[in-house]
Amino acid sequence: MFSVQVDSGPFLHYLRAVQYSFWESRWSSGQIGFHLDRPNPALLAHWADVADSGGSVLVPLCGKSHDLQWLAERGHTVRGVEFVRSAAEEYFEERGLEPHITTAGDVSRFDAARLEFYVADFFALTPASVTPSDFIYDRAALVAIEPSRRRQYIEQLHALSRRGARLLLVNFVHDIGSGPPHSIEVAELEEHCHGVFELTLRDERDILADEPRFAQRGATHMVEQVWLGSRIGD
């Protein structure tokens, strides 16, 4: 993927198309090394510090993650967002679920039990299309998007969450030199969240030994950081 600074009008359109085609080809060719066959360990370890059971959780750029089911089983209403339709279809097929599907414009919504799975471009959503949530869970989402859109992404999290919403964000810092996952240094993360989310670093550890695919790409470290946050403002 490449990086551009201009993010409006025809460029935005072009950027969206390039990003969609990048991710669609990852899904269609089965290059989904980011997908875990179990709930994410950081979620299991830290979610209790974010939420009790109940309330709604926004899961941007959710893929077909087992985290969706884990959160729903804790009693949350889960709102996953993913723009590759086959990822949504696989999620439900693998569980033998037949979701109720509705479509409005460019947004399709797959509903089953406590899960609302939106097949849509995350940046195109509004509080009118997705009810703002009480919690946000970001794993491999901020680090997956085009770097020039990070602030816009954080503002979308703000727009799609409720006053006082709590956040669990899993970030990566590495030295591969390209992404995704893109490396985001602490100073940059804090700058993007300034005035929007208040962040605290809860945990960090080098996961390179557990994730050989990153060493194969040239990484000498792959630090996974777990940030907890609170939404600022109304």
Ligand X SMILES: C[S@@+](CC[C@H](N)C(=O)[O-])C[C@H]1O[C@@H](n2cnc3c(N)ncnc32)[C@H](O)[C@@H]1O
CB of residue 36 vs ligand X: minimum separation in angstroms? 6
What six digits make up the tokens of 222? 């792959």
Minimum distance between the CB of residue 35 and ligand X, rounded to whole angstroms?
A: 5
Q: Is 19 in the site for ligand X (CB under 6 A)?
A: yes
Contact between 36 and 55 under an 8 Å Cβ cutoff? The reply is no
Contact region for ligand X (CB under 6 A) — 82-90, 109-117, 197-205, 216-224? 82-90
Residue 63 binds to ligand X (criterion: CB under 6 A): yes
Q: How far is CA 59 from the centre of its chain?
A: 6
- Give yes or no for residue 92 binding ligand X (CB under 6 A): no
Q: How many CA atoms lie within 13 A of 42 on its CB side?
A: 24
DSSP state of 204: E
Q: Which is nearer to ligand X, 8 or 234 (CB)?
A: 8
Applying CB under 6 A, which of residues 139, 174, 192, 231 lies at the interface with ligand X?
A: 139
- Distance (Å, rounded) from C-alpha 106 to C-alpha 43? 30
Spatial contact of 202 and 46, defined as CB atoms under 8 Å apart = yes
On whether the CB atoms of residues 230 and 165 are closer than 8 A, the answer is yes
Q: Which tokens is 128 given?
A: 């009118």
| Nearest-approach distance from CB 137 to ligand X, in angstroms | 9
Q: Closest separation between CB of residue 65 and ligand X, Å?
A: 4
| CB 120, min distance to ligand X, A | 7
Tokens for 70, please give them.
Answer: 């884990």
Q: Which residues bind ligand X (CB under 6 A)?
A: 19, 23, 34-35, 61-63, 65, 81-84, 87, 121-123, 139-141, 144-145, 180
